[in-house]
Amino acid sequence: MNRRLLGLAALAAGPVVVLGLFFVLPVTGMVSRGFFVDGQFAPGAVWEVLTRPRVARVLAFTVGSATAGTVLSLLLGLPAAYVLSRLELPGRRVVRALLLVPFVLPTIVVGVAFRQLLGEGGPLGFLGWEQTPVAIVLGLAFFNASVVIRTVGAAWESLDPRPGEAAAALGATPVQVLRTVTWPALRSSVVSSASVVFLFCATAFGIVLTLGGLRHATVETEIYLLTTNLYDLPAAAALSVLQLVVVVVLLAVTARFRTTSAAVQRRPFVPRRPARHDAPALLATALLLLYVAAPLVTLVSGSLRVGGEWSLGNYRALTTTGEYASLPVPVTEALATSLRTAVDATWMAVGVGLLLAVVVTRRSRSTAERRLRSGLDGLFMLPLGVSAVTLGFGLLVTLDSGVLDLRNSPLLVPIAQALVALPLVVRTLVPVLAGIDDRQRQAAASLGAGAWRTLLTVDVPVVWKPLLAACGFAFAVSLGEFGATAFLAREGAPTLPVVIFRLLGLPGAMNYGMALAASVVLAVTTAAVMLVVERLRVPSMGAL
């Protein structure tokens, strides 16, 4: 083992220990509970669960709805990614920031807003989509189109326009240019974002329950039901294993598309004015905006209604603990908790993600080394694909002794959130770091720069803006995270989504209004964070 490999191993050790301790250990701990009945290894119970017809149905619906959700997200997101990254439009930064808002809204709020649109009394009620898979897929796309816009948009932005121009000069129509030049160059980022979106869709929880009614269970909702309601651990373990298998297969399939083969020549890009052939893409973007805006408008207008009249009363009430003092803390304090938690989750996710991205993108010297790196890359995608319930309970049953008794640590919530944000951070940084010509590092090293100095000279200037973008994304994910957060113990310091959930669980017009107002505050905070990130990004380098 030479020095170089030792150094890399040391770099990788941090992220691997974090993942092992806070993800692999808890998940295996929880799953193994299902395999042991009264201390005896009894895989029979787990196997029996897998053969139930209901499980096959649930799995089929999960994969089907996630696939449909991913396809719709791509259909909506790709034209918008093009419009927002290649065309010179007024306010495109603001639009891009706003399009990320749905991503962090609590699903329960979006669910209610969607149902007010699609429900029996809603303006779109005549479509009869309520409680159908159509509603679920619409909801999934509502949340995830922004992921496509950000990841693919960034790649599109840094694309050299000259090959496309050359093809056009050779007589290719815009569609042919798209198919023969642009698509091959974008494919890896499209596949990459599609796999992330698929994982988000496949593990979506609240939105499936709210929009689908009880007819449509997914693996994720089933695990929740089996664990908390029926306490059927073998069945929950079986489904968790099933979920892992699906995720691993997905990652294996997409891994070969994800690899960035050659160094990308990054060049500053000047957006151009929209031309006539941009009309379909512009139209699609306008539709997406409308689609995203409709539930948000319902939400905002609902938050401004008190007793059938327009009022800011709901917002004024946010500094209180509610009409009947039924909240543990005022909403404003919950917002502060959310922000503080998000700061922690952000530095954790970005710190670990950066280390990992560096390790994964260093030049490999053998096939085995390359496989190891790509395996590492895939491993850190897993937290996206595993049930928050399994992870949440797993943390409780495994981190329970000695110095590792972190079950009641205030850090557990940000750690769980960081794990959810980590794949996004890694997916943001890896393409950028992989795009750096390794000879830049060699040049610096030969001029006398050590490992750190090389990093500062070559990597940091290219990566620091995507890094800020990753910070923004991690921050936003943390602000909106509800699943894992809701399960973990806290000392009288609930986050904003938890408080919103609590408010929506209580009768009374004021509580409902406060929940909507708090959701708007959450949305505005997120949009503000994203807008700051937008302002900082350099078009040729941003990756999200």
Partner 1 sequence: MTSGPILRLDDVSVRYEGTLAVDGVQLEVERGDVLAVLGPSGCGKSTLLRAIAGLEPISAGRITFDGEDLAGRPTHRRGFALMFQDGQLFGHLSVARNVGYALRLRRLGRAAVNARVSELLELVGLSGFEDRMPATLSGGERQRVALARALAVDPRLLLLDEPLSALDASLRQSLAADLRDILHTAGTTALMVTHDHDEAFAVAGRIAVMFDGSVVQQGPIAQVWASPEAPRTASFLGYARVLTGASARLVAEAAGLRAGGQLALRRSALRVAETGVLEGVVEQVTSTPEQLRLVVDVPGAGRLDAVARLDERLVVGESVHLSVDATRVAQMSV
Partner 2 sequence: MKFLPISLRGTRRATTALAALTVLTGASLAGCSLVGGDSGSEGDAAKEVVLVTHDSFSLPDEVVAQFEEEHDIKLVVRGSGDAGALSAKLGLTAAKPIGDVAFGIDNTFASRTLDDGVFAEHSVELPPGAEEYALEEGGDRLVPVDTGHVCVNVDKAWFDKEGVAPPVTLADLTKAPYKDLMVVPSAASSSPGMAFLLTTHAAFGDDWKGYWEDLLDNGVKIVDGWSDAYYADFTAGGEAGKRPIVLSYDSSPAFTLDDDGESTTEALLETCFRQVEYAGVLEGAANPEAAELVLEFLLSEEVQSALPTSMYVYPVADATEIPDEWAAWAPSPTDPFVVPPDTIAEQRDTWLKEWTDLATR
Residues at the site binding partner 1, with contacts judged by CB under 8 A: 2-4, 268, 365-367, 437, 439-440, 442-450, 453-454, 457-458, 461-462
Question: In the complex, what is the shortest distance from the CB of residue 410 to partner 2, in angstroms, rounded to a whole number?
Answer: 5
Judge contact between 105 and 530, C-beta under 8 A.
no
C-alpha to C-alpha distance for 450 and 427, rounded to whole angstroms: 27
What six digits make up the tokens of 78? Answer: 């790709």
Residue 156's closest CA among 68, 84, 250, 63? 84
Q: Which does 86 bind (CB under 5 to 8 A by kind): partner 2, partner 1, none?
A: none
Question: In the complex, what is the shortest distance from the CB of residue 439 to partner 1, in angstroms, rounded to a whole number?
Answer: 5
Q: Which does 3 bind (CB under 5 to 8 A by kind): partner 1, partner 2, none?
A: partner 1
Question: In the complex, what is the shortest distance from the CB of residue 443 to partner 1, in angstroms, rounded to a whole number?
Answer: 5
- The structure tokens 């110095």 sit at 403
C-alpha to C-alpha distance for 513 and 113, rounded to whole angstroms: 13
Judge contact between 72 and 138, C-beta under 8 A.
yes
Question: In the complex, what is the shortest distance from the CB of residue 449 to partner 1, in angstroms, rounded to a whole number?
Answer: 5
**DSSP, res 305:** E
What six digits make up the tokens of 500? Answer: 């919103």
Closest to partner 1 by CB, 401 vs 446, is: 446
Q: Which does 366 bind (CB under 5 to 8 A by kind): partner 1, partner 2, none?
A: partner 1
Residue 363 CB contacts under 8 Å (≥ 6 apart), including other chains? 438
C-alpha to C-alpha distance for 433 and 435, rounded to whole angstroms: 5
C-alpha to C-alpha distance for 362 and 10, rounded to whole angstroms: 14
Q: Which does 82 bind (CB under 5 to 8 A by kind): partner 2, partner 1, none?
A: none
Question: In the complex, what is the shortest distance from the CB of residue 116 to partner 2, in angstroms, rounded to a whole number?
Answer: 4
CA distances from 62 to 49, 128, 140, 379 (A): 17, 22, 12, 22
What six digits make up the tokens of 452? Answer: 């750190």
Helix 331-361 × helix 460-480 angle, to 10° = 140
Q: Which does 491 bind (CB under 5 to 8 A by kind): partner 1, partner 2, none?
A: partner 2
Closest to partner 1 by CB, 259 vs 457, is: 457
DSSP string for 14-66: HHHHHHIIIIIHHHHHHHHHHHEETTEE-HHHHHHHHTSHHHHHHHHHHHHHH
Question: In the complex, what is the shortest distance from the CB of residue 45 to partner 2, in angstroms, rounded to a whole number?
Answer: 14
Question: In the complex, what is the shortest distance from the CB of residue 66 to partner 2, in angstroms, rounded to a whole number?
Answer: 19
Question: In the complex, what is the shortest distance from the CB of residue 323 to partner 2, in angstroms, rounded to a whole number?
Answer: 8
C-alpha to C-alpha distance for 177 and 171, rounded to whole angstroms: 9
Q: Which does 446 bind (CB under 5 to 8 A by kind): partner 2, partner 1, none?
A: partner 1
Closest to partner 2 by CB, 180 vs 228, is: 228
Question: In the complex, what is the shortest distance from the CB of residue 240 to partner 2, in angstroms, rounded to a whole number?
Answer: 14
Closest to partner 1 by CB, 3 vs 215, is: 3
Q: Which does 41 bind (CB under 5 to 8 A by kind): partner 1, partner 2, none?
A: none
Closest to partner 1 by CB, 187 vs 439, is: 439
Closest to partner 2 by CB, 445 vs 536, is: 536
Judge contact between 480 and 103, C-beta under 8 A.
yes
**CA–centroid distance for 180 within its chain:** 30
Closest to partner 2 by CB, 171 vs 492, is: 492
Q: Which does 38 bind (CB under 5 to 8 A by kind): partner 2, partner 1, none?
A: none
Q: Which does 21 bind (CB under 5 to 8 A by kind): partner 2, partner 1, none?
A: none
Closest to partner 1 by CB, 3 vs 273, is: 3
Q: Which does 408 bind (CB under 5 to 8 A by kind): partner 1, partner 2, none?
A: partner 2
C-alpha to C-alpha distance for 466 and 433, rounded to whole angstroms: 10
Closest to partner 1 by CB, 463 vs 516, is: 463
Judge contact between 415 and 22, C-beta under 8 A.
yes
CA distances from 177 to 158, 165, 174, 205, 282 (A): 17, 8, 5, 39, 18
Question: In the complex, what is the shortest distance from the CB of residue 242 to partner 2, in angstroms, rounded to a whole number?
Answer: 19
Q: Which does 444 bind (CB under 5 to 8 A by kind): partner 1, partner 2, none?
A: partner 1
Closest to partner 2 by CB, 278 vs 459, is: 459
Question: In the complex, what is the shortest distance from the CB of residue 459 to partner 1, in angstroms, rounded to a whole number?
Answer: 11
Closest to partner 2 by CB, 160 vs 344, is: 344
- DSSP SS3 for 493: coil
